[in-house]
């Protein structure tokens, strides 16, 4: 097998020790002679995986007891409508901060279900920054505020979150979950598809404050109801068992590496390598995001023209790099620097960028 340097935006790199462990034990889990995905989701063995993953996540992410952890399906995208279904009453308004394509999609799904309001937006500047936002100007009867903590496509990230006022704050963290510590006191709900930073596709993590959960709509079909899923410990129906298993292994791996604090340190170190290469290139590479809003997870940049970009991406592909093309909606290049991407791979990429520049300047 040849080595590739996987910079995919999602699904993306999974820590090598996790893949090795899954290979060793997934097909004969704890001497059961059964693969994880062959076991009943009602069996004690699967329950061990399920609650083990939840406990490990609570542990490494320092999730307070007053939050419920759910394992749901339908991706982060289903959360775009589950959030308003559960929390937006007819006489209320939901307030969205627009920082990229995913927040636009979240707003669109909510607007099909109730009243929405845009609190702030950086659309006019091609989503190069996180717009100044505070919670003092919210409309009366605001049900919740919705943020996207990391903008996977444009490459921006909230450096810190605004201080919470008296309105619930709900955050899509699909592309930076588990990459830095969370100020839980300022957030009421976090959700994330697992396939970027927390494992494989199929499971969606939802972490929700119990006092918010109490306010959820009780008139929903059970499979769309947070209350139902919480009451059933995310075993209302068959959960994505293999995906939950992998998330548990990822959480264990993070703990062994030194926890989420260490993930944050590594992310800074790795991202700085690529941003330095961009900043020192005299405009050969130009970053999309404003410096103060730069994402540590998705680094987006362009070259002088599309031909040069194509050449860069082609040569990168030949050199073993995977996933460096920007999202199809915006073009350019994107380096996805998730937890599982090794420092060594980022160094090799940085050197490749410098060599390419020296050749084509
Ligand atoms: C990838 C992504 C999504 C969509 O996730 P799915 O699991 O494919 O529905 C939503 N929000 C953000 C920020 C993302 O990066």
pLDDT, tens digit, 9 for 90 and up, residues 25-83: 999 999 999 999 999 999 999 999 999 999 999 999 999 999 999 999 999 999 999 99
Q: How confident is the model at residue 1 (pLDDT cuts 50, 70, 90)?
A: confident
Would you say residue 1 lies in a domain?
no
Assess whether 99 and 60 both reside in one domain. Answer: yes
Pocket perturbation via mutation, ligand 1, pick of 9, 10, 74, 154 by most ligand atoms within 8 A of CB: 10
What's the CA gap between 136 and 243, in Å, rounded? 40
Structure tokens at 168: 């619930």
CA dist., res. 106 & res. 207, Å (int) = 18
Q: Looking at the whole model, is its pTM more than 0.85?
A: yes
Catalytic residue, candidates 56, 158, 172, 270: 172
Number of domains in the chain: 2
Q: Is residue 2 part of a domain?
A: no
Give the model confidence (pLDDT) of 164-191 as tens digits.
999 999 999 999 999 999 999 999 999 9
Q: Is 253 a catalytic residue?
A: no
Task: For residue 123, indicate whether it is catalytic.
Answer: no
Burial of 25 per CB tally in 10 Å (0-12, 13-18, 19+): middle
CA 285 vs CA 46, 273, 293, 328, 359: distances in Å: 49, 13, 18, 19, 14
The reply to whether ligand 1 has any atom less than 6 angstroms from the CB of 172 is yes
Q: Which residue, of 220, 242, 257, is where some domain finishes?
A: 257
Claim to verify: residue 329 and residue 234 sit in the same structural domain: no
168 and 222, same domain (yes or no): yes
* Mean pLDDT in residue range 214-235: 98
What CA–CA distance (Å, rounded) separates 164 from 134? 9
Q: Using an 8 Å Cβ cutoff, are 154 and 300 in contact?
A: yes
Which residue in 56, 188, 196, 253 is the catalytic one? 196
For residue 320, what are the domain limits?
259-360
Question: Domain of 210: which CATH number?
Answer: 3.40.640.10
In a domain, 11, yes or no: no
225 assigned to some structural domain: yes
CB 225 within 8 A of CB 216: yes
Same domain, 220 and 338: no
How many angstroms does the Cα of residue 76 sit away from the middle of ligand 1? 5
Q: Are residues 20 and 81 in the same domain?
A: yes
pLDDT attached to residue 235: 98
Strand, coil or helix: 204: strand
Please check whether residue 4 lies inside any domain of the structure. no
Measured in whole angstroms, the distance separating CA 48 from the mean position of its chain's CA atoms is: 25
């Amino acid at each position: 097998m040849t080595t590739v340097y996987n910079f995919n935006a999602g699904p993306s790199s999974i820590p090598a020790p996790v893949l090795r462990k899954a290979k060793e034990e997934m097909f004969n889990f704890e001497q059961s002679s059964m693969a994880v995905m062959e076991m009943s989701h009602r069996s004690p063995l699967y329950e061990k995986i399920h609650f083990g993953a939840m406990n490990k996540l609570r542990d490494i992410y320092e999730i307070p007891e007053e939050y419920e952890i759910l394992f749901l399906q339908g991706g982060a995208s289903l959360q775009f409508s589950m959030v308003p279904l559960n929390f937006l009453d007819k006489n209320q308004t939901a307030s969205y901060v627009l920082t990229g394509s995913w927040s636009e999609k979240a707003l669109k799904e909510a607007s099909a279900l109730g009243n929405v309001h845009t609190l702030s937006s950086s659309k006019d500047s091609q989503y190069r920054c996180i717009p100044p936002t505070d919670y003092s100007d919210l409309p009366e009867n605001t049900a919740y505020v919705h943020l996207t903590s990391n903008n996977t496509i444009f490459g921006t990230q909230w450096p810190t979150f605004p201080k919470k006022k008296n309105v619930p704050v709900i955050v899509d963290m699909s592309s930076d979950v588990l990459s830095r510590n969370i100020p839980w006191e300022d957030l009421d709900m976090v959700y994330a598809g697992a396939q970027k930073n927390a494992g494989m596709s199929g499971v969606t993590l939802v972490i929700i404050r119990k006092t918010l959960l109490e306010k959820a709509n009780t008139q929903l079909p059970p499979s769309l109801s947070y209350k139902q899923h919480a009451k059933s410990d995310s075993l209302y129906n068959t959960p994505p068992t293999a995906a939950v298993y992998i998330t548990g292994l990822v959480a264990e791996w993070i703990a062994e590496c030194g926890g989420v604090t260490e993930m944050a340190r590594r992310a800074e170190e790795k991202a700085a390598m690529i941003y330095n290469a961009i900043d020192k290139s005299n405009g050969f590479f130009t970053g999309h995001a404003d410096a103060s809003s730069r994402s540590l997870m998705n680094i987006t940049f362009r070259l002088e023209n599309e031909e040069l970009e194509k050449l860069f991406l082609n040569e990168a592909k030949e050199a073993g790099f995977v996933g460096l093309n920007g999202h199809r909606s915006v073009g350019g290049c994107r380096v996805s620097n998730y937890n599982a991407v090794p420092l060594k791979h980022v160094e090799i990429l940085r050197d490749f960028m410098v060599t390419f520049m020296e050749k084509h300047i």
